[in-house]
Structures are given as structure tokens and as C-alpha cells.
Structure 1
Amino acid sequence: MSILQTPDEGEVTGETAAIYAEERADLGYVPSHSRVLAMNAEAYEGWGKLVSAIAGSMGMRRYELVTLAAALGLESRHCRLAHGQKALKFMGEDELLRIAKDYRDAGLDEAEVAMMDFAVKLSTDAAAMNDSDSRRLRDLGFSDREIVDIALAAAARNFLSRFLQSLAVDVDVPPNLGEAMRHALLEPFGPE
């Protein structure tokens, strides 16, 4: 539990109130991670612009796959749950359940698995990465821009996940995420 005290929705004004309203409209609630990041509204806005620049270029399905893989490598319950919910906008629940349990055995094409492998490695041992990691992506048809976007998406997830973990921000379970999905997303991390 974080020592940070974030204001309730009825207590915020200005930019922070706008952030809370946007989150409520998009997700149906204001997650703890958004409340903490909104303590620096300029950073929240900058984060949103960065994500839009990356995801807008690579497409939301790819962005969510890379994000889920990076969160797996980081053992980020925050991001696995939040992006599990967001990914449901771009894939069916059955497919996402298979991906959450084992993306390498989920029926994804080789290029999608390679993106996710890249994101996991970046999130677990970036110092060990070399040209062979990027070359695998190139050999599967990714352009230079697409490779950069995959790396940016995974690195951005590292930034936010480590920020949340460092402050012991409460992990929210999205209210419309079913029990089976929640379990599949969190299972790799051990008991909840």
C-alpha cells in the first residue's frame, strides 16, 4: 500500500479533475495508478502523448501485445490487469485468455510472438540484448520504424511499471474483468 494520499474525485479541480473525468469515462472508475500520476498533471499529459505517438504508429493490437509482454517480464500486476482490460477492445476474450496463459502457445503468428519475446527480454535483461534480437524482428518483416516502435512500447511500459512499483501504488482490479481473466493475467506471478 502506498504512503501517497491521492485526492478523491470530489476533491479535485482543474487539470486533475479533467484527468479523473477522462479515466472514469474511459474505464468506469479512476484507477490508483492514474490518481498517482495525476499528482503531476503535466507528466500525465506527457505520458498520454508518448503512448499516443507509439500506439498510433504501431496499431493498438500490437501495442497491447507488447505492453502485456513487457508487464509480464516486469511482474507488473498493475499493467497486466489494466492492459488486459484494454486489450479486450482489440481481441476476443478467448484469445486474450490464451495469450495471458502462454502467449507462445496462443495461436499468435510468429511475428506477434517475436514482438512479445523482444518485450519480455527488454524488460528482464535489456543489457544482454544485441543485434540478434532486432534481427529476428527484421527477418519477420518488421521495418526499422516498426522495430523502434516495439522497443519504445516495451521501454515505456518499463518506465510506468517501475514508477508504480517503486511507490507501492495499489493494484486495481478492473471491475469488468472476469475471474478467469484476472487469474490468467496474474498467474505467472504466483499467489495473489
Structure 2
Amino acid sequence: MSVIETIPESAAAGPIAQLYADDLRALGYVPSHSRAMALNPGAFAAWRALQAAIASSLGLRRYELVTLAAARGIGSAACLLAHGRKALTFMEADELERVARDYRTAGLPADEVAMMDFALKLSTASATMDDADSRSLRDAGFSDREIVDIALAAAARNYFSRALHALAVDVDVPPGLDPRLQDALLAPLGGPAHPAPAGS
């Protein structure tokens, strides 16, 4: 549990109230990570603007798949669950479960597997990356702009997820997320299911 004291919805005002309202409109609730990051509302608003700029260029499906791979590499339960729910807007639950358990064997197109491999490596061994990693994306058909966007999406997830880890922010299970899908999202890549967070 984080030592950070967040501002409850009933006491939120100004930019913080607006950030909370955005979550209520989009998600139906205000996640713990929003409450923590909203303590610096300017930085949090800038983060959201960065997300939107990358996603609008890369496309929502690609952005979310890259985000899931990066979050997997980081080991961010909060981001895996939150973006797993978001991925349901473009993917059926059974396909998402297969992707969560092992995207390499889930029947995804080769270009999507390549970008997820890139995001996973960026999140686990970025210091070892070189031109061969970018070339793998080019060989998969991505343009230079798309390669940059994939790198930005994965790197941005590292920024946010690692801040949540550092602050020990509570992990929320999004309302309505099926327990089987929760297990798949939190399982080690290609491995057995991981227990859901307490309180799920």
C-alpha cells in the first residue's frame, strides 16, 4: 500500500476534479493510479496528452498491443489490467486471453507480433537494443514514423508503469473484467495463471 495520500473525489477541485471527471466519463470509476498521479495535475495532463498523440498516430489497436507487451515486460499488474480492459474495445475476450497468455502463439499477424517483441525487449533489455531491432520492424512492413511511434508507446509505458511501482500504487481490477481474463493478463508470458490482486 502506498504512503501517498491522495485526494478523494468529494474534495477534488480544479484540474484534479477535471482529471477525475475524465476517468468517470471514460471508465466509470477513478483508478488508484489516477488518484496518485493527479497530485501533479499538470504532469498527469501532459502524460495523457502524450498518450493521445502517440495513439492517434499509431492507431488504437497497435498502441494497446504495444502497451500490453511493454507492461508485461515491466511486470505492471496495474497497466496490464487497465489496458486489458481497454483492449476489449477492439478484440473479443477469447482472443485477448490468448494474446495475454502468449501473443506469439495467439494467431496475431506477423507485424503485430514483431512490434510486441520490440516493446517487450525495450521493457526488459533496452540497453542491448541496436539497429537490428528497428530493422525487424521495418522488415515487418512498418514505416520510419511507425517505428518511432512503437518505440514511443513502449517507452511511455515504462515511464508510467515504473512510477506506479516506485510509489507502490494499489492495483485496481477494472469493474466487469472477467476473472479468467484477469488470470491470463497477470500470468507469466506463456506460463500458468497468476493469482488476481487481493480484493478483486
- Fold in common (TM above 0.5): yes
Q: Determine the structure 2 residue equivalent to 1:130.
A: 130
Q: Determine the structure 2 residue equivalent to 1:104.
A: 104
CA contact (8 A) 2:80 2:186 kept: yes
Work out the CA distance in 2 between the residues paired with 1:181 and 1:175: 12
Normalised to the residue count of structure 2, the TM-score between the two structures is 0.94
Give the superposition deviation at 1:188: 1.4
Q: Determine the structure 2 residue equivalent to 1:173.
A: 173
- Give CA deviations for 1:159-179 in whole Å, capped at 9, x if unaligned: 000000000000000011110
- Give CA deviations for 1:26-85 in whole Å, capped at 9, x if unaligned: 111100000111111101110011001100001000000000000000000010000000
Q: Determine the structure 2 residue equivalent to 1:62.
A: 62
Q: Determine the structure 2 residue equivalent to 1:18.
A: 18
What is the count of residue pairs matched by the alignment? Answer: 192
What pairs with 1:67-146 in structure 2 (closer than 5 Å)?
67-146=67-146
CA contact (8 A) 2:32 2:169 kept: yes
CA contact (8 A) 2:54 2:149 kept: yes
CA contact (8 A) 2:183 2:195 kept: no
What RMSD over aligned residues (CA atoms) do the two structures have, in Å? 1.0
| Structure 1 portions without partners, runs of 5+ | none
CA contact (8 A) 2:73 2:123 kept: yes
Work out the CA distance in 2 between the residues paired with 1:125 and 1:105: 22
Work out the CA distance in 1 between the residues paired with 2:21 and 2:140: 41
| Structure 2 portions without partners, runs of 5+ | none
Work out the CA distance in 2 between the residues paired with 1:73 and 1:13: 36
Q: Determine the structure 2 residue equivalent to 1:53.
A: 53
The AA in structure 2 aligned to 1:39 is L
Work out the CA distance in 2 between the residues paired with 1:29 and 1:176: 12
Work out the CA distance in 1 between the residues paired with 2:34 and 2:45: 11
The AA in structure 1 aligned to 2:8 is D
The AA in structure 2 aligned to 1:17 is A
Normalised to the residue count of structure 1, the TM-score between the two structures is 0.98
Work out the CA distance in 2 between the residues paired with 1:118 and 1:40: 31
Counting aligned pairs with the same residue, the percent is 61
Give the superposition deviation at 1:23: 0.3
Work out the CA distance in 1 between the residues paired with 2:5 and 2:79: 21
Give the superposition deviation at 1:25: 1.2
